[in-house]
Amino acid sequence: MATQVHPTAIVEAGAKLGQDVVIGAYAYVGGDVTLGDGCVLHHHATVEGYTQLGPQCEVFPYAFIGGRTQDLKARPGKPGLKVGARNTFREYVSVHLGTQEGEWTILGDDNVLLAYSHIAHDCVIGNHLVISSHSAVAGHVHVGDHVNIGWNAGIHQFCRIGDHAMVAACSKCVQDVPPFVIADGNPCETKMINAVGLKRSGFTDEEIATAKLMHRLFYRDGLNTSQAIEKARALPEASGRVAKAFVDFAASTKRGLA
């Protein structure tokens, strides 16, 4: 299938379109945009700024991808947005560029952003994120792989969310959420291990048990973070991927653990 551009769409001079791209009615593509092979922009979709979409991304009506940051520190320049393959941006989703020249907002592969959700400037998003409607991720947030952010959740700037974590609906996240856990509340607190998500992702029963052990050690045994890290590193499970990921995440936190 050859590239198809509806006659009412606007594709500015300089835009780079891959093979088999489809651009619907009244869609807009800016002059610094690169669309990978097989990208689909539905009617009234907008992709602008210094934005690179990987192959087979889909942008639904009224989504705004590559908008200028809302950060008041922004200055004239050419910050960017890099998006991997097979990402879905539903209606009214907004994803902003980085703040300064040479800075980027980055999304990996296979992410699904549901209607009205927002990814702000300078975020680094991994792979297989599902972010529900009306949720917002503030600037400089780092999100791991296989993360689920529930409806109307808010993630504070500079927070991190670890791999395979879930932030429940309506949560206010102001600290780092470790991998493998479910966080909920206002402000959100780590409640339990994301056992169902881990099972679906192919983790073994032993690895899920290790995740539960890490949760108990950090949240139930009355230890501070430094003490929990020291104790966790001495465990027989310390060399496994679950314990190592949890401990490494905890050791690198700057905002503290939720």
User: What CATH number is attached to the domain comprising 243?
Assistant: 1.20.1180
Total Cβ atoms within 10 A of residue 80: 19
Domain end, chosen from 140, 168, 189, is at 140
Q: Which of 125, 140, 155 is the last residue of a domain?
A: 140
Task: Compute how many other C-beta atoms are within 10 angstroms of the C-beta atom of residue 14.
Answer: 11
Question: Phi/psi at 2 (nearest 5 deg)?
Answer: -75, 160
Q: What is the pLDDT of residue 219?
A: 95
| Catalytic pick among 71, 122, 145, 184 | 122
Per the annotation, the verdict on 24 as an active-site residue is no
| Domain membership flag for residue 184 | no
Q: Mean pLDDT for the chain?
A: 96
* Domain limit, last residue, from 140, 167, 185: 140
Whole-number Å distance between alpha carbons of 61 and 3 = 19
pTM: 0.95
Instruction: State the burial class of residue 160 (Cβ atoms within 10 Å of its Cβ: 0-12, 13-18, 19+).
Output: buried
Within this chain, do residues 40 and 128 fall inside the same structural domain, yes or no? yes
pLDDT of 1 reads 72
3-state secondary structure at position 232: helix
- Same domain (yes/no): 136, 10: yes
Q: Are residues 23 and 128 in the same domain?
A: yes
Q: How confident is the model at residue 250 (pLDDT cuts 50, 70, 90)?
A: very high
Is the bond leading into 187 cis (omega within 30 degrees of zero)? yes
Adjacent-strand bridge partners of 154: 136, 172
Cα 134 to Cα 252: distance, rounded to the nearest angstrom = 29
- Residue 68: give the domain boundaries: 4-140
Domain count along the chain: 2
Summarize pLDDT for 76-89 with one digit per residue, the tens: 899 999 999 999 99
Per-residue pLDDT of 159-207, as tens digits, reads 999 999 999 999 999 999 999 999 999 999 999 999 999 999 999 999 9
Q: Which residue has the higher pLDDT, 239 or 41?
A: 41
Same domain for 203 and 116, yes or no, is no
216 in any annotated domain: yes
Same domain, 203 and 128: no
- Catalytic residue of the set 38, 98, 126, 139: 139
pLDDT more than 70, % of the chain = 100
Per-residue pLDDT at 74 exceeds 90: no
Task: Judge if 244 and 124 occupy the same domain.
Answer: no
Q: Are 11 and 103 found together in one domain?
A: yes
Residues 132 and 243 both lie in one domain: no
Structural domain contains residue 220: yes
DSSP-derived 3-state class of residue 222: coil
For the CA atoms of 222, 225, 230, 231, the dihedral, rounded to the nearest 10 degrees, stands at: 30
Q: How many Å apart are CA 84 and CA 246, to the nearest integer? A: 26
Q: Is residue 14 part of a domain?
A: yes
Q: Among the options 42, 121, 140, 146, which is catalytic?
A: 121
Do the domain assignments include residue 103? Answer: yes
Note the maximum CA span of the chain.
65
CATH number of domain containing 18: 2.160.10.10
pLDDT top residue among 72 and 176: 176
- Concerning whether 184 is annotated as a catalytic residue, the answer is no
What are the helix (H) ranges across 93-204? 195-200
35 pLDDT tier (thresholds 50, 70, 90): very high
Q: So what's the pLDDT on residue 252? A: 96
pLDDT of residue 75: 84
Q: Is residue 26 part of a domain?
A: yes
219 and 99 part of one domain = no
Per the structure block, which two tokens stand in for 16?
């780079």
**H or E element in which residue 106 lies:** strand 104-107
Q: What is the pLDDT of residues 133-165, one digit of tens each?
A: 999 999 999 999 999 999 999 999 999 999 999
216 φ, ψ (degrees, to nearest 5): -65, -40
| Residue 63 confidence (pLDDT) above 90 | yes
Question: Which of 25-29, 60-64, 223-227 has the least mean pLDDT?
Answer: 223-227
What number is the average pLDDT over the span 199-224?
A: 95
Distance between CA atoms of 39 and 228, rounded to whole angstroms? 46
Note if 122 is an active site residue: yes
pLDDT at residue 56, as a whole number: 98
Predicted confidence at residue 76, as pLDDT, reads 86
Read off the pLDDT of each residue in 112-126 and give the average, rounded to a whole number: 98
Residue 47 lies in a domain: yes
DSSP class per residue in 20-31: T-EE-TT-EE-T
What local confidence, expressed as pLDDT, does residue 213 receive? 96
Indicate if 27 and 113 belong to the same structural domain. Answer: yes
Residue 147 in domain: no
